[in-house]
Structure 1
Amino acid sequence: MSFERDGNQDFSELDIQFARLAERLGGGEAPEIALAAALASRARVEGHICLDLAEAASGNPVRQKGGACSPPPLDRWLEILAKSPVVGGPGDWKPLVLDGTRLYLYRYWDYERKLAEGLRGRAADDPGEIDEALLRDGLNRLFPLNGGETDWQKAAAFTAVTKRLCVLSGGPGTGKTYTVAKILALLLEQSDTGFRIALAAPTGKAAARLQESIREVARILPCPESVRACIPDEASTVHRLLGSIPGTASFRHDAAHPLAADAVVVDEASMVDLALFSRLVQALPARTRLILLGDRDQLASVEAGAVLGDICDTGRDHGYSSSHRIRYEKMTGETLPAAEPGEETSVLGDCIATLRKSWRFGEGSGIGAVGRAVNEGDGRRALEAARSGRFADLRWLDLPRPEVLPRLLEERLGEMPADFRDAADPEAALKLLDRFRVLCALREGPYGVAAVNDLAERILRRRGLIRPEGRWYQGRPVMITRNDYPLRLFNGDVGMILPDRDAGGELRAFFRSPDGSLRSLPPSRLPEHETVWATTVHKSQGSEFDRVLLVLPDRDTPVLTRELLYTAVTRARNRIEICGRQDVFTAACARRTARFSGLRGALWGPRP
């Protein structure tokens, strides 16, 4: 079978070669096998864990040399796949795995199975005897009464101590890291011996932020000094925690060589893809607590999966089992919402706490108002808030023609390169970089990252703020786009080209390490990277900026979803400007990100 590439299908060479291999291994008599293999390979690249055959069977024909190949009726397709020597059922070691109407690449079926088993087992496991009097005292001391409302931070802390799995979801400013610092204090108070805690995040920048936040909160916690001293003050990337082996995709820690930790905290968990999530859970000893922090409503990971969303069953609010509610009320005097009839079938329900109150974006915040409306899919209300002019931290800009975009951009870039040059040291320059960022929904096109970055450099050169020649210039912000394990630089890490005063003013690339320290290396040694005056919303996950300019494209596209808009809006700490067309904005609010997997069903049970 020989596919053609077109604007709708765009099979990669890998998809095509995998399809040919599947067809050859299957005897070459069933083009439906090759089609399924190519679509399953492409689905992974598009972020799905599996191919939904029911969806694919109702899709458009796929062009191939000699004509178009239409997917067969679903029943017929399932019958052909079930008979193929290339396709196995769950548990079979075959290139493709058929599970109901979901078709997986074997590796991703295995990742999903092991992750689901690991999470369900951890959620159901009793962590052992708890000193309830000590826990009651700690909860009341660290989370004083708040006037009768459910204190979701306290509920999360109770869960983290009484369960081996705790998932803490909440938007920016809801106090996730503030809460987890208190959770760590409670866990340490329960431990008579050394209690080993590991802090991690998907990127170096996110790890540094987690570390800084934990340090700040730990200093002021009302707990014994002996406890405060044991709260860890160093975080790492998930890759570093697992012990990435240079030159391979393997890790030193796995099921056979587990991590030496009693509790593992992972921040920005929405950014962790299925493969890494699965390998992390496999590397945890059975007794280890896993505490996940993140925002379930944000964009999913760049790679395959929407793991945090599936774990939280995003889109549904679950109550708690009667046993969990009774135990919590007995200890705190507060109540938790009850699970609906039939909901108590999943052990995960008691392990999830959602922080609902934003301490950063109150009722008078435009960022908060538009973020909530977008999250609820209410495009009309979100647009009204953005265009109203009522909020000091929010402004709507009608999308200009491409030739007018330079003027808009020039006003906002200001004197940033000069500010970097005048900064006292590289640390100060990197902090200045977080003052402003352009976020784009797309990479290509007149309103995409590539065009905006090129435009920014032309503007800055014309104004004499950067050198008119040479690839490297003082103040150039760069983002790593490919992991380099030996250099400990990972996809999404952001740095800056600056003179090294300790090396005679030689230009070097400075990056912040997860422990907060700075390190530098010659620019020529950098792995694949790009200039980052502007970046995609996807790449901005895990970062925050004082001011954000969000540039939307001039036409609707499936990439534009409410999760993308919500993520973009909540990257801004102080002010956001949304530059777009009204119809494109409201269409995005109405569209949800769909990533096919079986993980949600494996964790929560089948849906009616």
Structure 2
Amino acid sequence: MTTTTPGSALRPTAPPAGDAVDEGDPRLAVGVPAGLAPFNVARVVSAADVRVALRLGRLTGEHDDRVLLAVALAVRAVRSGSVCVRLDDLGSLALPEDEEAARTDAADLPWPDRTAWVDAVARSPLVAVGVEGAPDRPARWVGGALYLDRYWRDELAVRHDVDGRLAAPDLPVDADRLDAALARLFPAAEDTRQRLAAAHAATRRLTVLTGGPGTGKTTTVARLLAVLHDAVPHDAARPAAAAAPAPSRAGANAPADQGTALRVALAAPTGKAAARLQEAVREVVAGFGDAADRARVGTPVATTLHRLLGYRPGSSTRFRHDAHHHLPHDVVVVDETSMVALPLMARLLEALRPDARLVLVGDPDQLASVEAGAVLGDLVHREPVTPPATAPVVLAAAETALADAPPPADGEVDDRAVLGNGVVRLRTVHRQDRDSEILPLAAAIRAEDAEATLALLRAGHGSVEFLETPDDEPDDAALAAVRADAVAAGTLLVEAARAGDAAAALEALARHRVMVAHRRGPAGRGRWAAQVEAWVEEATGHHATDSPWVAGRPLLVTTNDAEVGLYNGDTGVLVAEPSGGVVAVFGDPRAPLRVRTHRLPPVETVHAMTVHRAQGSQFDRVTLVLPPATSPLLTRELLYTAVTRAQSFVRVVGSEDAVRTAVTSPVHRASGLRTPLPGGQSSVRSA
């Protein structure tokens, strides 16, 4: 491999065979060393990836193209959602940037010799080697993977905190009251796994509650809160050694006896997900048969993780709560954990009191976070550990709940073994819409069964519709079907907004949503948002004006604003006021958050959205427009997530090839969290 100094770097000179290089293409970096140029031209690394690698090389005196390529790939890996990059995995290294790049055969690129490549990386002044390597290097080589140091430190912090919680002894609990509460709140035979989750959460510091749609995750959360309020001795919940600052209002329950009751925080990654969690938990609590249980849980309040942690934009510490200023809560429940990126999970774990109970809830088959990491999936699929001791109540619940556990699927850990990692999988579908084909469709996608998925889509039983587009372009029939749903929901939205009815407008906002994989392009969000907007304008006479502040405009928040209480991904609508102006409303239709337009953070019109943006939301009807089968964004997780956003009806628009590609293309995010540290090193912090 040729080495060059930054000053002798050349313009990319090795395009894929048969392709011409566009010298003005902004995706091509200027002054790329010869060893990186072919990978930039093939879109394996972007111009930005190359620039970061070159800058780090200049700062550390590293000029070897092989090392700079590895660093550029590590930067690219983070952009693609991975925490690190493995130099022995050609498939992950050559993840294409776009459809054009997907046509390039990665095997044809001039990859360095693997042995020499690894040796060059390990000897580089830019790279620390091993867990105990120098702390001041920008990158780290550990266990056959190259990390940017920031992400290595975050992964190590999560590993330390998780392993410490798993290794800690059981927390105090009143055994008699726990048995009685479990029997009262989980009486049905089919609730055995839910009961196991509650027993585990009562005695352990970390519980990971997973399951697909309809398995009762939120019901379990509501009931386990009642169990904890009843069975955890209040004087044991906050020992003197764990004294903490007074709680903020965000995420804390407000029971009658605030001085002695457990301090519980409910949180989710987005405002929409937090609102759904709060609403669902309150509905379950309202249905408790025992008035005492209803009183103990009170009226739970859910918030975003950023607000819970006290997000401080512009601050060097970012969050008010950290390792030195712990959250005051005894119990923290996080819903939609699949959306939580590695850095945010690291900040949450360090902010918890060591004796606090953490319950992570989610579906690991959904799309992972937009940022780096797939923490929920990593925790669910980690190599199992054996806890130091397990409370008899947990052992008894596990014996019943896991007696008939199915054999693990490919890539899964046995349900009994994974319990040592705090993981409880809910498998029984409890949701009442058993006649719906949405849940069987989701199960077929999750199982990577393309034939079953296509059969269910084509059967069209009323809750599922497949509009096949062999040419990847919706025909008139497909457009007419999508238009009918978009206009019906849009008309209700505009009429309610013009009438100043915030509740009805927010309800209409959730009636139908067009979802896409890409932000740009023929099948992208921009094209479909414009199309839906045109349809609604034609049907309602609700035409755009010079002012963006017009009643009926659906909004998507694109930036966090803790002061206002809005966060990236929140959706709302502008509604008319009696005075003649408009106000933006967000959240629960029964108690919407009202925000004056001058106080809004950056927003955009949301007639269509990417599946990533839709995560954490639910809509009555969903239309998913698939991109061509060549799209690198077409994955099993994307299709599964979109389908499970629908409550009563889902329509898939696309080709058979696109469906097959999606179902058989699971996402693989590189991370070291699933396996032990190399060399058998302990990851538990000493006291």
Q: TM-score, normalised by structure 2?
A: 0.80
Of the structure 1 ranges 207-216 and 352-361, higher mean CA displacement relative to structure 2 is found in 352-361
Structure 1 contact 140–332 (Cα < 8 Å) conserved: no
Of the structure 1 ranges 39-48 and 215-224, higher mean CA displacement relative to structure 2 is found in 215-224
Structure 2 contact 67–121 (Cα < 8 Å) conserved: yes
Among 390, 402, 405, which residue is 1:336 paired with?
A: 402
Among 370, 385, 398, which residue is 1:302 paired with?
A: 370
The one-letter code sitting in structure 1 at the alignment partner of 2:196 is A
- Structure 2 counterpart of 1:114: 157
Once the two structures are TM-superposed, the CA of residue 515 in structure 1 deviates from its matched residue by 11
CA pair 216-97 structure 1, distance change in 2 beyond 3 A: same
The SS at the match of 2:429 is coil
Of the structure 1 ranges 330-339 and 359-368, higher mean CA displacement relative to structure 2 is found in 330-339
- Structure 1 counterpart of 2:203: 162
Determine if the alignment matches structure 1 residue 141 to structure 2 residue 192.
no
* Partners of 2:398 and 2:660 in 1: CA distance: 43
Determine if the alignment matches structure 1 residue 561 to structure 2 residue 595.
no
CA pair 36-348 structure 1, distance change in 2 beyond 3 A: farther
Residues 355-504 of structure 1: pairs in structure 2 closer than 5 A: 355-360=426-431, 364-389=435-460, 391-399=461-469, 401=473, 404=476, 406-423=479-496, 425-470=501-546, 472=548, 473-501=550-578, 504=579
- Structure 1 counterpart of 2:64: 30
The SS at the match of 1:291 is strand
Q: Which whole-Å deviations, capped at 9, do the CAs of 1:18-56 have from their partners, x for residues lacking one?
A: 211222134243122221221111111111101111125
* Partners of 1:379 and 1:45 in 2: CA distance: 29
CA pair 478-311 structure 1, distance change in 2 beyond 3 A: same
CA pair 207-605 structure 1, distance change in 2 beyond 3 A: farther
Q: Which whole-Å deviations, capped at 9, do the CAs of 1:539-582 have from their partners, x for residues lacking one?
A: 11101111111111233322111111111111110011111101
* Partners of 1:33 and 1:346 in 2: CA distance: 40
CA pair 53-171 structure 1, distance change in 2 beyond 3 A: same
Of the structure 1 ranges 405-414 and 260-269, higher mean CA displacement relative to structure 2 is found in 405-414
Once the two structures are TM-superposed, the CA of residue 322 in structure 1 deviates from its matched residue by 12
The SS at the match of 1:127 is coil
CA pair 585-83 structure 1, distance change in 2 beyond 3 A: same
CA pair 554-216 structure 1, distance change in 2 beyond 3 A: same
* Partners of 1:178 and 1:319 in 2: CA distance: 28
Once the two structures are TM-superposed, the CA of residue 376 in structure 1 deviates from its matched residue by 0.1
CA pair 121-60 structure 1, distance change in 2 beyond 3 A: closer
The one-letter code sitting in structure 1 at the alignment partner of 2:557 is I
* Partners of 1:298 and 1:604 in 2: CA distance: 29
The one-letter code sitting in structure 2 at the alignment partner of 1:139 is L
Structure 2 contact 576–582 (Cα < 8 Å) conserved: yes
Determine if the alignment matches structure 1 residue 175 to structure 2 residue 216.
yes
The SS at the match of 1:174 is coil
* Partners of 2:301 and 2:71 in 1: CA distance: 44
Q: Which whole-Å deviations, capped at 9, do the CAs of 1:232-271 have from their partners, x for residues lacking one?
A: 5211110000000133471010001110011101011111
The SS at the match of 1:130 is coil
The one-letter code sitting in structure 2 at the alignment partner of 1:289 is R
Q: Which whole-Å deviations, capped at 9, do the CAs of 1:195-252 have from their partners, x for residues lacking one?
A: 2111111111111111112222222324462773444521111000000013347101
Of the structure 1 ranges 504-513 and 223-232, higher mean CA displacement relative to structure 2 is found in 223-232
Residues 187-202 of structure 1: pairs in structure 2 closer than 5 A: 187-193=228-234, 194=260, 195-202=262-269
Of the structure 1 ranges 23-32 and 277-286, higher mean CA displacement relative to structure 2 is found in 23-32
Once the two structures are TM-superposed, the CA of residue 86 in structure 1 deviates from its matched residue by 1.2
Determine if the alignment matches structure 1 residue 540 to structure 2 residue 540.
no
- Structure 1 counterpart of 2:645: 571
Of the structure 1 ranges 230-239 and 267-276, higher mean CA displacement relative to structure 2 is found in 230-239
* Partners of 1:13 and 1:485 in 2: CA distance: 33
Among 288, 294, 301, which residue is 1:234 paired with?
A: 301
- Structure 2 counterpart of 1:43: 77
Once the two structures are TM-superposed, the CA of residue 11 in structure 1 deviates from its matched residue by 4.2
Q: Kindly tell me the number of residue pairs found equivalent between the two proteins.
A: 593
CA pair 345-50 structure 1, distance change in 2 beyond 3 A: farther
The SS at the match of 1:160 is helix
CA pair 352-143 structure 1, distance change in 2 beyond 3 A: same
Once the two structures are TM-superposed, the CA of residue 299 in structure 1 deviates from its matched residue by 0.8
The SS at the match of 1:210 is helix
Once the two structures are TM-superposed, the CA of residue 482 in structure 1 deviates from its matched residue by 2.5
The SS at the match of 1:54 is coil
* Partners of 1:254 and 1:155 in 2: CA distance: 31
- Structure 1 counterpart of 2:355: 287
Q: TM-score, normalised by structure 1?
A: 0.89
Among 580, 584, 592, which residue is 1:505 paired with?
A: 580
Measured on the aligned residues, the alpha-carbon RMSD in Å equals: 3.2
Once the two structures are TM-superposed, the CA of residue 344 in structure 1 deviates from its matched residue by 11
CA pair 319-515 structure 1, distance change in 2 beyond 3 A: farther
Once the two structures are TM-superposed, the CA of residue 415 in structure 1 deviates from its matched residue by 3.7
Structure 2 contact 172–232 (Cα < 8 Å) conserved: no
The SS at the match of 1:32 is helix
Once the two structures are TM-superposed, the CA of residue 343 in structure 1 deviates from its matched residue by 7.6
The SS at the match of 2:208 is strand
* Partners of 1:456 and 1:331 in 2: CA distance: 51
Once the two structures are TM-superposed, the CA of residue 290 in structure 1 deviates from its matched residue by 0.2
Structure 1 contact 394–575 (Cα < 8 Å) conserved: yes
Once the two structures are TM-superposed, the CA of residue 451 in structure 1 deviates from its matched residue by 0.5
CA pair 196-518 structure 1, distance change in 2 beyond 3 A: same
* Partners of 1:70 and 1:382 in 2: CA distance: 39
The one-letter code sitting in structure 2 at the alignment partner of 1:115 is V
Structure 1 contact 440–552 (Cα < 8 Å) conserved: yes
CA pair 384-308 structure 1, distance change in 2 beyond 3 A: same
Among 189, 213, 219, which residue is 2:280 paired with?
A: 213
Structure 1 contact 198–232 (Cα < 8 Å) conserved: no
* Partners of 2:385 and 2:465 in 1: CA distance: 37
Determine if the alignment matches structure 1 residue 259 to structure 2 residue 327.
yes
* Partners of 1:533 and 1:446 in 2: CA distance: 16
Q: Which whole-Å deviations, capped at 9, do the CAs of 1:125-165 have from their partners, x for residues lacking one?
A: 1233332222111111111142xx67111111111112111
Structure 2 contact 611–641 (Cα < 8 Å) conserved: yes
The SS at the match of 1:236 is strand
* Partners of 1:96 and 1:46 in 2: CA distance: 17
The SS at the match of 1:29 is coil
* Partners of 2:450 and 2:146 in 1: CA distance: 35
Once the two structures are TM-superposed, the CA of residue 303 in structure 1 deviates from its matched residue by 0.9
Structure 2 contact 44–93 (Cα < 8 Å) conserved: no
* Partners of 2:149 and 2:163 in 1: CA distance: 21
CA pair 58-357 structure 1, distance change in 2 beyond 3 A: closer
The SS at the match of 2:400 is coil
CA pair 140-604 structure 1, distance change in 2 beyond 3 A: farther
The SS at the match of 1:593 is coil
CA pair 24-517 structure 1, distance change in 2 beyond 3 A: same
- Structure 1 counterpart of 2:88: 54
Identity of aligned residues (%): 39
Structure 2 contact 491–536 (Cα < 8 Å) conserved: no
Structure 1 contact 378–590 (Cα < 8 Å) conserved: yes
The one-letter code sitting in structure 2 at the alignment partner of 1:72 is P
The one-letter code sitting in structure 2 at the alignment partner of 1:286 is P
- Structure 1 counterpart of 2:344: 276
- Structure 2 counterpart of 1:354: 425
The one-letter code sitting in structure 2 at the alignment partner of 1:74 is R
The SS at the match of 2:370 is coil
* Partners of 1:571 and 1:60 in 2: CA distance: 31
The SS at the match of 2:282 is helix
Determine if the alignment matches structure 1 residue 128 to structure 2 residue 171.
yes
